[in-house]
Amino acid sequence: MMSFIHKRIKQKIAFSIFGLISMIVVGILFVILGFIIFRGISVINWGFLTKMPEEGMTKGGIFPAIVGTLCLIAGSMIFAFPIGVLSAIYLNEYLKENWLKKFMRSMTNNLAGIPSIVFGLFGMALFVNKLKFGDSILAGSLTLGLLALPVIIRTTEEALKSVPDHLRIGSYALGATKLQTIRRVVLPIAAPNIITGLILSISRVSGETAPILFTVAAYFLPKLPHSMFDQAMALPYHLYVLTTSGTNMEASRPMAYGTAFVLIMIVLIANLLANVFRRYFGKKNKMN
Amino acid sequence: MNLTNTLEIQETFPDIADEMLKAQTKDVNLYYKDFHALKNINFAIKANTVTALIGPSGCGKSTFLRLFNRMNDLISGVKITGDVLLEGENIYKKGIVVDELRKSVGMVFQKPNPFPKSIYENVAYGLRVNGYDHKDSIDEIVERSLKQAALWDEVKDKLKKSAYELSGGQQQRLCIARALAIEPSLILMDEPASALDPLSTSKIEELIYDLKNKYTIVIVTHNMQQAGRVSDYTAFFYLGELIEYDKTKTMFINPQNIKTQNYITGRFG
Amino acid sequence: MNRKRLKIFEKVFGAVLFSSSTVTSLTVLFIIVFLFNEGIGLFNSTPVEKKYQFIVSNNNTVKELSSKQLKDIFNYDITNWKQLGGSNDSILLFTINDLSTYFTDDELGANFENLPSKINELIKKNPGILAYLSDKYVPQHLEGHVIPLTKISIKDFVTGTEWYPTSEPAPQFGVLPLILGTLWVSFGAILIALPLGLATAIFMAEVASQRLRNILKPVIELLAGIPSVVYGFFGLVVLVPLIQQLFNLPVGETALAGSIILGIMALPTIITVSEDALRTTPTSLKEASLALGATRWQTITRVTVPYARSGITAASILGIGRAVGETMAVLMVTGNAGVIPHTFLQPVRTIPATIAAELGESSYGGLHFKALFALGILLFLITLIINTSVELIKSRKRS
């Protein structure tokens, strides 16, 4: 009898501790988000979002950094999204279980595990120096695109896997070719989840700093880029500069809070959007 | 014959006195969300007998079996009304400690599911989680349980080996030994031989027959011959209802209900 | 006809798909090639920039000098050739700036036309001399000889204890402090993240209701989505001052700050991977345990966690991998002192932070630049080992 009470008390204590720890983990997130939102929101106004930085980046806004980040998002996705989706289709729909598939899969996994700073080094060696793009939006976009590739491939593959096989077989049975089956049956069902992957990789790309350090990012450039061969400012690098190497770090602190706020908002909105997408279309698919 | 209360059970089995009943259910209903899975079941299990639960898949026999050790509690969305008595005590009343209850009800599952531990540790598991830690007595109980499960001779030299080195039939007997080690007053078996070859199946059936002297056993099976061979009483479930419950011999020779008759003769199922 | 065109189109599309996957797969190989291409030049090159020579007297028997020895000589830690295996002569260090100590302007001539002969004279007169001269000042008929410098070897690179890539005249490319700094910070991170992450994973997989899980899951995803520079910023403005005050330190930028921030960043990986692993434990095993009277907690500790052990190991390794490769947050909170750390309350410098901080200042193609790419190779290899071991653990589990 004693042992019964003993083990039940043990369970109660363990579960309470584990619950508490989980709440701490959630708490950490809310502390970080709360802190940045609370400090940042007072900085945010129309001028902050649409003006050039002024007076050694202690006044004005972050407009060029926003534009730069948007350019990088667009540039990297134009490159990575099609290649990623096509690779995933090839891996999941075309390749049989053989050495090639194993090789490609393990390469994709390895690519996902490479630290972002190594991508930065690679981007500098190949795009900036070898291909002579110089520090440019093009070089930065390509580097970020490579980083996003494994993310897009993985989410797309999962989306494709969630399409039940009997639908494919049904389509073949009606005389459809492989391509027709993919286009008319598989992709429409997988589309919401593929888009979710796209949104999440946009969120990822917008916050990466290390890969753009040596490929595109400008310390201070109070004008907008004119072509993809121009340098550009970017939000994450701007935040780094403001906090660690600005000319007057104390005075530019509010600017830093504002920049962090904008970054956090991009991530929050992207995550929210992805979740809504997943839930809304997930349900719709289930009902069909 | 649809039994609606204990009185009728007494009428059906005049030889069963109250104190001989190991377990009973009274007006038990079980809902899984909106699905009415068990409908008003009144049932009694006589001590030191083997009771077989038969019926087509989805009829609720496994769910009914799991009432007695409250395994249905693990599924969210399950609601249970009515009383389930084990040795006269309602096991669904407030203050019942589920793990204490489960210690006194052993269970053997459809597929052999030994833990990824040694043969010895598998049998000792129930003792250890219930706070026994006297090594000599654990040794003794492990040996006794393996002997009762007719497995001792085959494994006595390799108690420290992984349970996964045993054959499927041996694994299932190990799982029975594991259940016996905590000396349950009731043993539930959920299609214990359905995943086994004929030879292993007959060993398990012999074992069940032997265990009857000491234990009370309820067995779910989809195999009519098996029910006929091992059980004293048989209950036929259909669509969540208890259709017929009688001595096995009576029921197999002269079923009262046309549904029972159809099922036993293999016309559906 | 239409059918035929369809077939051709089908073929073309297949080829497009194939080339996309090939590009993806080959990227890893490309990365390896380019890192090596830029970084491998560090090895087997002399540690001093070209156009400079070290000259010793003809009587000097020392065969060659390493970068480390040069540094010690210039710091006056080594003052006699005896210490380097030569004859018992104290070392006389001579650079072009020392000219005026030995010669007057008249002696050198108006246009330094006497400089070569004077230097030769000096070398002849002082058996212990070590002259550090630009090529253009080295006399044509040298009365001494140029002492060769030990080439940088992989061993020196990995085991060298000093990282002064820009020091003159002898830069030091020892990455041991950076490796140790990376390991300290990463293991500190895992020490923090593993208990928290595992507890949360167990809570989510085995304890929490479906509804609570539906709340926790997006929170964990969000934690993974916050950019590392924001973590770094938060660490810098909140955590670093806190640590400084708490432990009464001169600076708050420490290994501890890095470990805490990295620990938080590694949490989502550890939680997600462990939770997935815990979920692979068959229900039948958990039921068997519960049916024997075990509590849910006993079932977790005795059945579920042991069953998921390899998955949990994989989760911790992946978490370490995340921490090892993380750049910006670490760069912002660890203080970046390139010394071998002894406590968590010291500033440290990690491999990725070093690359990020220094690549911008290094000249393209120079030794420093190459050394940073060599660091990149090292980092790549570490993460490759980590990824491969995770794959191995997973495949062993499957079989």
pLDDT tens track for A98-135: 888 888 888 888 898 899 999 999 999 999 988 999 89
Assembly ipTM:
0.92
- Do C118 and C204 lie in one domain? The reply is no
For residue C101, the distance in angstroms to the closest alpha carbon of chain A comes to 42
Average pLDDT of chain C to the nearest whole number:
88
> Tokens 């004008």 — which residue?
A223
Alpha carbon distance C154, C43 (integer Å): 6
Q: For residue A2, list chain B residues with Cβ-Cβ distance below 8 A.
A: 131
* Phi-psi map region of A10: left, alpha, beta (phi>0 left; psi -120 to 50 alpha): alpha
What CATH number did the domain enclosing B61 receive? 3.40.50.300
pLDDT tens digits, one per residue of A179-237 = 889 988 999 999 988 999 999 999 999 999 999 999 988 777 777 888 888 888 999 99
DSSP per-residue codes, B31-79: EETTEEEEEEEEEEEETT-EEEEE-STTSSHHHHHTTTTTGGGGSTTEE
Chain B closest-CA separation from residue A5 CA (Å): 10
Share of chain A above pLDDT 90, in %: 53
Percentage, residues of chain C above pLDDT 90: 45
Distance CA C97, CA C337 (A): 31
Residue C163 lies in a domain: no
For residue C19, being part of any structural domain is answered with no
Separation between Cα atoms, residue A148 and residue A202, nearest integer Å: 8
Q: Say if residue C142 is exposed, middle or buried (CB neighbours under 10 Å; 0-12, 13-18, 19+).
A: middle
Which range in A86-100, A234-248, B84-98, C186-200 is most confidently predicted, on average pLDDT? C186-200
Specify whether C221 is located in the same domain as C311: yes
User: Which of A48-62, A70-84, C103-117 has the largest mean confidence?
Assistant: A70-84
How many Å lie between the alpha carbon of C289 and the closest alpha carbon of chain B? 8
C237 and C88 fall within a common domain? no
B256 in any annotated domain: yes
Min mean pLDDT across A3-7, A55-59, C202-206 is at: A3-7
| CB nearest to B115's CB, from C210, C290, C303 | C303
Q: Average per-residue pLDDT in chain A? A: 88
pLDDT tops 70 at residue C317: yes
Q: pLDDT tier at C142 (50, 70, 90 boundaries)? A: confident
Among C25, C227, C327, beta carbon nearest to A263: C227
Domain identity same for C332 and C237: yes
Q: Is B240 left (phi over 0), alpha (psi -120 to 50) or beta?
A: left
The total domain count for chain C is 2
Tens digits of per-residue pLDDT, A247-265?
A: 677 778 889 999 999 999 9
Residue B217 contacts residue B239 (beta carbons within 8 Å): no
Q: How many domains does chain B have?
A: 1
**A26, part of any domain:** no
**Residue A73 pLDDT > 90:** yes
Residues C180, C302 within the same domain: yes
Beta carbons of A153 and C376 less than 8 Å apart: no
CATH number at residue C74: 3.40.190.10
Q: Which of A227-241, C40-54, C239-253 has the lowest mean pLDDT?
A: C40-54
| Per-residue pLDDT, A251 | 79
> Is it the case that residue C109 has pLDDT exceeding 90?
no
Which has the closest alpha carbon to C230: B34, A192, B238, A31?
A31
- Partners of residue A84 in chain C, C-beta under 8 Å: 24
Best of A4, A6, A15 to substitute, by most chain B Cβ atoms within 10 angstroms, is: A4
> Which of the 8 DSSP states describes residue A55?
T
Q: Residue B41 pairs with which residues in a beta bridge?
A: B28
Residues 175-204 on C with a CB inside 8 Å of A are 195-197, 199-200, 202-204
State which residue of chain C sits closest to B127, comparing Cα positions: C292
B9 is in which domain, residue-wise? 1-96+223-269
* Residue numbers of the domain that contains A265: 46-287
Over residues B178-190, the pLDDT tens digits come to 999 999 989 999 9
List all residues 6 or more positions away from B23 whose beta carbon is below 8 Å from its beta carbon.
B44, B45, B68, B84, B85, B86, B87, B186, B216, B218
Q: Dihedrals φ, ψ of C348, to 5°?
A: -135, 170
Identify the CATH number of the domain in which residue A163 sits. 1.10.3720.10
What local confidence, expressed as pLDDT, does residue B3 receive? 46
Higher pLDDT, C131 or B40: B40
| Residues C180, C143 within the same domain | no
Residues C308 and C358 in one domain: yes
C292 — contact with chain B (CB < 8 Å)? yes
CB interface of A with B, residues 7-66, below 8 Å: 7-8
Q: Considering C116, C151, C186, which residue would you say is the last residue of a domain?
A: C151
- Identify the band that residue A175 occupies on the pLDDT scale cut at 50, 70 and 90: confident
The count of domains in chain A is 1
In a domain, C219, yes or no: yes
What pLDDT, on a 0 to 100 scale, did the predictor assign at position B265?
Answer: 82
Higher pLDDT, C273 or C98: C273
B124 domain-assigned: no
Nearest-CA distance B125 → chain A (Å): 14
**Which residue from A95, A111, A124 is facing C27, i.e. has the nearest CB?**
A111
Distance CA B186, CA B25 (A): 14
What distance in Å separates residue B130's CA from the closest CA in chain A? 7
Residue C309, in any domain of the structure = yes
Inside any domain, residue B68: yes
Q: Do residue C193 and residue C272 come from a single domain? A: yes
Ranges A3-7, B138-142, C44-48, most confident: B138-142
Label the pairing between strands C144-146 and C52-57. Answer: antiparallel
Look at residue B184 and tell me if it is in a domain: no
Report yes or no on A245 lying in a domain: yes
Whether C24 is in a domain gets the answer: no
Q: Which residue has the higher pLDDT, A77 or A247?
A: A77
Please report the pLDDT score of residue B225 as a whole number. Answer: 87
Instruction: Give tens-digit pLDDT for C65-102.
Output: 888 888 888 888 888 888 888 888 888 888 877 877 88
Q: What is the pLDDT along chain B (269 residues), one digit of tens a residue?
A: 344 444 455 555 555 556 678 888 999 999 998 899 999 999 999 999 999 999 988 889 999 999 999 999 888 889 999 999 998 889 998 888 888 899 999 999 999 999 999 999 999 999 999 888 888 899 999 999 999 999 999 999 999 999 999 999 999 999 999 999 999 989 999 999 888 899 999 999 999 998 988 999 999 998 888 999 999 999 999 999 999 998 999 888 888 888 888 888 876 54
Count residue pairs from B and C with Cβ separation < 8 A.
Answer: 69
* C69 and C218 housed in the same domain: no
Nearest alpha carbon to residue B54 among B254, B207, B268: B268
Q: What is the pTM of this model?
A: 0.87
- Higher pLDDT pick, C151 / C224: C224
C201 and C65 in a common domain: no
Q: Which domain holds residue C214?
A: 176-398
Q: Is the per-residue pLDDT at A3 higher than 70?
A: no
Residues C180 and C314 in one domain: yes
Question: Which pLDDT score is estimated for A287?
Answer: 43
For residue A288, what pLDDT band results from cuts at 50, 70 and 90?
very low
Question: Residue C291 is nearest to which of B71, B100, B114, comparing CB atoms?
Answer: B71
Beta-bridged to residue B43, according to DSSP, are B25
pLDDT value of position A61 = 82
pLDDT, one tens digit per residue, over C249-260 is 888 899 999 999
The answer to whether the CB of C181 falls within 8 A of the CB of C349 is yes
Kindly report, residue by residue over A31-46, the tens digit of the pLDDT: 999 999 999 999 888 8
Which of A149 and C129 is assigned the larger pLDDT?
A: A149
Whether residue C369 sits in one domain with residue C269: yes
